[in-house]
C-alpha cells in the first residue's frame, strides 16, 4: 500500500497519531534544553522511570478499549508494593514465591472486577471504585497504616537494577527490558484472535454477542490483564520508589489520561496500544521537560491539565469531521436508525434508547 507524503502527513496529525508527533516534539525540546538527555544512559534511565506508568497504561488500554474503566489500578499497585515489602522482608530467597503470590493476587482482583462488572451488571466505574476503596483499606488495615521498611535487595533489584557498562547503551535497566518484553507480548496478543475481540466488544457489544463472542470473558480478561500490569508495575516500583502506602496513588487516573492522550476513545472500540504507551511516555517527558526548563514542580500538573484537555478536544474535533462525512450519515442505509436527526454529533453522548 503506497501512500502519498500528504497522506502520511495527514495521518501524523490525526488524533490517533498526534501523540507520536507530540512525543517527538517533547523529546527534541528536552534535548535542546539539556543535550545530555540524548546520551544512551540518560535515555535508559528515563525509560526506567517511565516503565511502571507505561505498563499500567498498557493494562488500562485493554480495559478501556473493551468499553470499561479500571479505577482500582492505583490501589492495586499500592497493595502489591506494600504486600511485597511485608512478605519479602529481609529474606531474599522469598523473592520468587512472593512474586508468584503477587501475580496470583493480581489475577484474583482482575477476576473479581470482571465478573462483578459482567455478571452483576454493575458499571465498572462503580465496581472498580469499590475495589479501590476495599484494597486500600485492606492494605492499611493489614499494615496498620505504617509502611514497613524496604524489602531484601534481591527483590528491589528488579526495579532499580540493570546491566551496566553495556556497549552503546551504557546501562540497560531490567525495568526497560520488562517494558519492551511486555510491549512485544501485548502487540502479539492484540494481533491474536482473542486480542482483537477486545476492540470488537468495545465497539459494539450487541454485535459481538450476536456473533457468538463470550462478552463476559473478553471483558473479564481485560480486567485480569490490567490487574496483572498493575502487579508488574508494583514490583518495579518496590525497587524504584521503595515501600510506602502512597506509592501508586493516582496511577489509575494517570493511566486513563495516558490512554486517552494516546488516541484511545473512552467507551471503547478504538485505539492502538502503542498510542497508550506513547501517551504514558508523553506524560513523563512533559515532566522532564518542565523540570529541565526550570518550571517549578508545582506548576507541572497545571500544564498537564491543559495538555490533556487540549489533546482530547482536538480528537473530538476530528471525530466530528469524520462523522459528518457523506457515507456515515447515509440515510439510505440507515432505515433502521431510530428516529430522525441521529447524524452529526452523537460522539459525546449516549444514543437513544427509544421507547418500545
Partner 1 sequence: MNRLRSLDPTVVVYLALVAALAIGALLVSTVGRNFFSAGNVRDILTGMSVLGLVAIGQTLVVLCSSLDLSVPVVISLSSLLAATTMAGDPARIVPAVLLTLAVAAAIGLFNGLVVTKLRVNGFIATLGTGLIVKGYLDTQYKGTAGTVPWEFQLLGATGLGPVPVSTILMLALAALVWFVLARTRVGHQMFAVGGDPVVARLSGLHVARPVIVAHVVCSLTAAGAGLLLASRLGVGSPTVGSQGGYDLLSIAAVVLGGTLLLGGRGSVWGTIGGVAIFAVLDNVMSVMQVNPFLKDIVRGVVIVAAVAVYTRRTLHAHRPRFGAGGPTVDGPLPGPADGAPATGQLPPAEEVAR
Partner 2 sequence: MTTAPVLTARGLTKSFFGVRVLDEVSIEVRPGEVHGLVGENGAGKSTLMKILAGVYQPDDGEIHLAGEQVAFAHPIDAMHAGVATVFQEFNLLPDRTVAQNVFLGREPRRRGVVDVREMARRTQHVLDELGVTSVRPRDRVGSLSVAQQQVVEIAKALSHDAKVISMDEPTAALAAHEVELLYRIVRSLAERGVGVLYVSHRLKEVFDLCDTITVLKDGRLVSSGPADELGPDELVRRMVGRSIESYFPGPLEGTERGTELLRVTGGGNAWVDGIDLSLHAGEITAVAGLQGSGRTELAEAIFGIRPFTRGSVEVGGRRVRVTSPRHAARLGIALITEDRKATGLSLAQSILDNVLLVIRGVFPRRTAHVRREADALMARLELSTDRLDREVQLLSGGNQQKVVLGKWLATRPRVVILDEPTRGIDVGAKVAVYDVIRSLAREGVAICMISSELPELLGIADRVLVMRDGRLVADLAPSATEEEVLRHAAGAEVGA
Q: Residue 331's binding partner, choosing from partner 2, partner 1, none, with beta-carbon cut-off 5 to 8 A by kind?
A: partner 2
Binding flag, residue 167, partner 2 (CB under 8 A): no
CB closer to partner 1, 258 vs 274? 258
Residues 207 to 266: which contact partner 2 by CB under 8 A? 207-214
Which listed range, 15-23, 38-46, 189-197, 250-258, lies at the site for partner 2 (CB under 8 A)?
A: 189-197
The radius of gyration of the chain's CA atoms, rounded to the nearest angstrom, is 22
Binding flag, residue 40, partner 1 (CB under 8 A): no
Residues 104 to 143: which contact partner 1 by CB under 8 A? 116-127, 129-141
CA atoms within 13 A on the CB side of 149: 5
Question: Of 202, 217, 205, 196, whose CA–CA distance to 115 is shortest?
Answer: 217
Cα dihedral sign for 263, 213, 208, 126? Answer: negative
Report, in Å, the least distance between residue 310 CB and partner 2: 23
Binding flag, residue 339, partner 2 (CB under 8 A): yes
Residues 166 to 185: which contact partner 1 by CB under 8 A? none
CB closer to partner 1, 51 vs 135? 135
Alpha-carbon distances, residue 126 vs 131, 322, 341, 348 (angstroms): 8, 32, 32, 20
Contact call for residues 69 and 205 (beta carbons, < 8 A): no
Contact call for residues 136 and 248 (beta carbons, < 8 A): no
Which listed range, 54-62, 150-158, 230-238, 249-257, lies at the site for partner 1 (CB under 8 A)?
A: 249-257
Binding flag, residue 168, partner 2 (CB under 8 A): no
Contact call for residues 243 and 84 (beta carbons, < 8 A): yes
Which listed range, 18-26, 31-39, 68-76, 326-334, lies at the site for partner 1 (CB under 8 A)?
A: 68-76
Give the count of residues interacting with partner 2 (CB under 8 A). 41
- Using the rule CB under 8 A, which residue among 144, 145, 167, 340 binds partner 2? 340
The cell 489475577 sits on which residue? 107
- Please give the helix or strand (H or E) that residue 348 lies within, else none: none
| CA–CA dist 234, 99 (Å, integer) | 11
Binding flag, residue 325, partner 2 (CB under 8 A): yes
- What distance lies between CA 268 and its chain's CA centroid? 13
| CA–CA dist 266, 320 (Å, integer) | 16
CB closer to partner 1, 90 vs 301? 301
- Using the rule CB under 8 A, which residue among 22, 64, 87, 200 binds partner 2? 200
Binding flag, residue 197, partner 2 (CB under 8 A): yes
- Please give the helix or strand (H or E) that residue 146 lies within, else none: none
Amino acid at each position: 500500500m503506497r501512500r502519498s507524503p500528504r497522506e502520511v502527513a495527514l495521518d501524523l496529525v490525526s488524533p490517533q497519531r498526534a501523540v507520536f508527533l507530540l512525543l517527538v516534539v517533547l523529546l527534541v525540546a528536552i534535548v535542546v534544553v539539556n543535550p545530555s538527555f540524548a546520551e544512551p544512559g540518560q535515555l535508559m534511565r528515563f525509560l526506567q522511570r517511565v516503565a511502571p506508568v507505561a505498563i499500567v497504561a498498557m493494562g488500562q488500554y485493554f480495559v478501556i478499549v473493551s468499553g470499561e474503566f479500571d479505577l482500582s489500578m492505583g490501589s492495586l499497585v499500592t497493595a502489591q508494593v506494600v504486600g511485597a515489602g511485608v512478605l519479602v522482608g529481609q529474606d531474599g530467597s522469598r523473592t520468587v514465591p512472593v512474586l508468584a503470590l503477587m501475580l496470583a493476587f493480581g489475577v484474583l482482583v482482575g477476576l473479581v472486577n470482571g465478573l462483578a462488572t459482567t455478571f452483576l451488571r454493575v458499571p465498572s466505574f462503580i465496581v472498580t471504585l469499590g475495589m479501590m476503596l476495599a484494597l486500600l483499606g485492606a492494605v492499611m488495615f493489614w499494615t496498620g497504616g505504617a509502611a514497613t521498611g524496604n524489602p531484601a535487595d534481591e527483590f528491589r533489584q528488579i526495579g532499580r537494577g540493570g546491566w551496566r557498562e553495556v556497549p552503546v547503551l551504557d546501562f540497560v535497566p531490567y525495568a526497560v527490558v520488562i517494558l519492551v518484553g511486555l510491549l512485544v507480548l501485548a502487540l502479539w496478543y492484540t494481533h491474536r484472535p482473542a486480542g482483537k475481540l477486545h476492540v470488537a466488544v468495545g465497539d459494539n457489544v450487541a454485535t459481538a454477542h450476536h456473533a457468538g463472542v463470550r462478552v463476559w470473558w473478553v471483558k473479564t480478561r481485560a480486567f485480569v490483564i490490567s490487574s496483572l500490569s498493575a502487579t508488574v508495575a508494583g514490583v518495579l516500583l518496590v525497587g524504584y520508589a521503595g515501600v510506602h502506602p502512597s506509592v501508586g496513588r493516582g496511577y489509575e487516573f494517570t493511566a486513563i489520561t495516558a490512554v486517552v492522550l494516546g488516541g484511545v476513545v473512552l467507551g471503547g472500540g478504538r485505539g492502538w496500544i502503542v498510542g497508550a504507551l506513547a501517551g504514558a511516555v508523553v506524560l513523563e517527558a512533559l515532566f522532564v521537560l518542565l523540570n529541565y526548563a526550570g518550571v517549578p514542580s508545582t506548576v507541572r500538573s497545571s500544564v498537564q491539565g491543559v495538555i490533556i484537555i487540549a489533546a482530547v478536544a482536538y480528537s473530538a474535533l476530528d471525530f466530528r469531521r469524520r462523522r459528518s462525512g457523506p457515507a456515515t450519515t447515509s440515510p439510505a442505509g440507515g432505515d433502521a436508525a431510530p428516529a430522525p436527526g441521529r447524524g452529526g454529533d452523537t460522539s459525546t453522548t449516549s444514543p437513544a434508547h427509544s421507547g418500545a
